[in-house]
């Protein structure tokens, strides 16, 4: 099941808010996220930028540097973003989150519910009743070639996203995010199964009965039950003051190709509570679900999540899944079984120092689309699950330091997995006004000892128009099982250009050098919004 990688994809559109400026993520590299605005008037370094989800503004990014129409940002906590995500600068509440928290390369992704709930207190917004249609069309190519492979790979990807609020000033809204990708000279793969190329992450219609009651039809991820993933069917929600209840019925996307599968029927209900308190907010939700496969019970479980910040400078998040049904020797048993548990606490000691700790035994994520190289995949796999602790410290302005350590021991692991990630970022280098990040990732797993060291330099060459980035990493993996090692030198250069408010182009080149083998990757993207 796709757990959360496309949760943000489903939140494609948002209404333009009074007293705010709307932008979009234009490029992502490592922990650096670039956000484009029509202008950055009123935005300052250190400000918090927001995402709009389910009519709630959620803190998502902190501004490190900016030009006339562009902001260089880092995510708050472990938030995940993708290119084209809408970002809101809410000028009335920009100084909510401090200190700046920069995530090192190899950082673990966070539970989507925690992303939605733990950053800061939400702001409830009244929906606009006027039509508002926004969208983006993106064309990209991805080429991978080397001096040893018999066949180079050229992949093309086309994406279309649209959010239509209150179509023709009615109570009907729509959202969609669709991608189509294929490889050069491999059209037979598409003809064999269209879903090998076509991925529909969101395609749904919404009808508002009134300001508190609505129903969705189609494919959509519901933020209140995001762990369930996308649902193909009907989703009903009713809200009374701080309480919301909902019911859903439909099917799950096919786990092989993410297409429609009528055999994977599911239904469930949930109840949620959200309330502002003196120092922040308290939010909880409880959901019951039954999932079937070809008519037989596949899973019956309860999902619970809770988040609060009622203690000043402390954010707490917890979630668990409790299975209620299982088969033993072919016999159905109604037994309780804890299948997922996650807990985290974030403590902001001061404006310059914050601590974070977590325990995670959730299942690994399945990626239906990814452009990670081998080193990134190994780092991420080693960082999943177990105990983690992070310190972020800003000793002086423009200098950010961080260290992240984790350990994991599972029954299937011959030995404990240990990871440590550290970084230092200076966002205003004298003389060139650029941002420099130096990072180190060390890991010890059951099958390898690994180190990845890196340095990245980014600069706005023409403010608001032309940006560039240089990145270098040294990889040293020593495999214990086969007594061998892998040494790589990875170089990367990126250019992006904003032609106007609607047209954007980026070019990225990555070269990997290792003994007797060289790999090259070129990524081109052009995006047009309407």
- 236 within 8 A of 244, measured Cβ to Cβ: no
Write out 366-416 in H/E/C secondary structure: CCCCCCCCHHHHHHHHHHCCEEEEEEEEEEECCEEEEEEEEEECCCCCCCC
Q: For position 54, what pLDDT does the model report?
A: 47
Write out 178-232 in H/E/C secondary structure: EEEEEECCCHHHHHHCHHHCEEEEEEEEEEECCCCEEEEEEEECCHHHHHHCCEE
323-376: pLDDT as tens digits: 998 777 777 778 888 888 889 898 989 888 999 999 888 765 555 455 566 666
pLDDT band of 149, cuts 50, 70, 90: low
Query: What's the DSSP call for residue 365?
Result: P
426-456: pLDDT as tens digits: 988 888 888 899 999 998 887 788 899 999 9
Separation between Cα atoms, residue 40 and residue 51, nearest integer Å: 16
Q: Is the pTM of this model over 0.75?
A: no
37-62: pLDDT as tens digits: 766 766 766 667 877 654 455 667 87
371-386: pLDDT as tens digits: 566 666 666 666 667 8
| CA proximity to 246, closest of 280, 222, 274, 218 | 222
pLDDT band of 89, cuts 50, 70, 90: confident
Instruction: Give all strands (DSSP E) within 84-197, no chain letters.
Output: 86-90, 123-124, 132-146, 153-165, 172-183
Judged by DSSP in three states, 91 sits in helix
168-186: pLDDT as tens digits: 999 999 999 999 999 988 8
Per the model's pLDDT, the better-predicted residue between 208 and 147 turns out to be 208
Percentage of the chain modeled with pLDDT above 70: 76
Separation between Cα atoms, residue 369 and residue 372, nearest integer Å: 9
| CA proximity to 436, closest of 444, 421, 425, 451 | 425
Q: For position 16, what pLDDT does the model report?
A: 35
Question: Domains (ranges, CATH) in the chain?
Answer: 7-529 (2.40.170)
| Continuous segment of H or E residues that includes residue 443 | strand 435-444
Radius of gyration of the chain measured on its C-alpha atoms: 23
| CA proximity to 13, closest of 136, 162, 199, 115 | 162
pLDDT at position 63 over 50: yes
| CA proximity to 444, closest of 482, 414, 422 | 414
Residue that the structure tokens 């409880």 belong to: 286
Sign of CA dihedral 359, 365, 371, 372: positive
| CA proximity to 496, closest of 89, 72, 15 | 72
- 238 within 8 A of 246, measured Cβ to Cβ: yes
Separation between Cα atoms, residue 529 and residue 116, nearest integer Å: 26
Q: For position 474, what pLDDT does the model report?
A: 95
| Continuous segment of H or E residues that includes residue 234 | strand 231-240
Pairing of strands 466-479, 448-462: antiparallel
């Amino acid at each position: 099941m796709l757990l959360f990688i496309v949760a943000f994809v489903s939140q494609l559109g948002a209404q333009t808010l009074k007293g705010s400026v709307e932008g979009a993520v234009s490029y992502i590299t490592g922990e650096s996220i670039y956000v484009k605005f029509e202008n950055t008037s009123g935005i300052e370094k250190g400000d918090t930028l927001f995402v709009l989800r389910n009519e709630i503004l959620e803190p998502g990014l902190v501004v490190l540097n900016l030009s006339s129409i562009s902001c260089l940002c880092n995510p708050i906590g472990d938030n995940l973003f993708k290119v084209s995500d809408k970002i809101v600068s809410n000028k009335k509440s920009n100084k909510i989150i401090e200190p700046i928290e920069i995530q090192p390369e190899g950082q673990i992704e966070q539970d989507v519910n925690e992303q939605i709930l733990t950053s800061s207190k939400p702001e409830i917004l009244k929906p606009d009743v006027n039509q508002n249609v926004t969208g983006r069309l993106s064309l990209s190519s991805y080429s991978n070639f080397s001096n040893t492979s018999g066949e180079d790979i050229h992949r093309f990807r086309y994406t279309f996203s649209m959010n239509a609020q209150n179509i023709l000033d009615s109570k009907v809204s729509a959202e969609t995010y669709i991608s189509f990708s294929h490889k050069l000279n491999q059209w037979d793969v598409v003809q064999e199964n269209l879903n090998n190329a076509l991925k529909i992450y969101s395609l749904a219609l919404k009808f508002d009965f009134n300001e508190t009651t609505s129903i969705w039809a189609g494919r959509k991820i519901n933020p209140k039950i995001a762990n369930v993933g996308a649902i193909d069917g009907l989703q009903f929600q009713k809200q009374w003051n701080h309480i919301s209840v909902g019911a859903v019925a439909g099917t799950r996307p096919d786990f092989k190709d993410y297409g429609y599968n009528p055999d994977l029927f599911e239904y469930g209900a949930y109840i949620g509570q959200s309330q502002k308190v003196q120092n922040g907010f308290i939010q909880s939700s409880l959901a019951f679900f039954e999932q079937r496969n070809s008519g037989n019970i596949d899973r019956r479980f309860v999902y619970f999540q809770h988040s609060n910040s009622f203690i000043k400078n402390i954010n707490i998040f917890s979630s668990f899944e409790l299975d209620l049904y299982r088969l033993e020797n072919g016999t159905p048993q109604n037994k309780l079984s804890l299948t997922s548990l996650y807990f985290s606490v974030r403590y902001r000691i001061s404006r310059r120092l914050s601590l974070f700790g977590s325990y995670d035994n959730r299942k690994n994520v399945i990626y239906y689309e990814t452009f990670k190289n081998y080193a990134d995949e190994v780092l991420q796999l080693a960082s999943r699950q177990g105990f983690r602790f992070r310190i972020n410290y800003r000793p002086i302005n423009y200098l950010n330091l961080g260290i992240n350590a984790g350990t994991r021991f599972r029954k299937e692991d011959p030995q404990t997995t240990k990871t440590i990630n550290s970084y230092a970022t200076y966002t205003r280098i004298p003389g060139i006004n650029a941002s420099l990040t130096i990072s180190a990732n060390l890991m010890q797993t059951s099958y390898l000892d690994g180190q990845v060291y890196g340095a990245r330099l980014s600069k706005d060459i023409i403010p608001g128009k032309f940006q560039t980035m240089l990145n270098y990493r040294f990889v040293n993996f020593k495999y214990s099982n086969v007594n061998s090692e892998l040494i790589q030198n990875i170089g990367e250069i990126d250019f992006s250009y904003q032609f106007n408010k609607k047209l954007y182009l980026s070019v990225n080149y990555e070269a990997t050098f290792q003994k007797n083998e060289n790999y090259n990757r070129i990524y081109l993207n052009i995006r047009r919004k309407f």
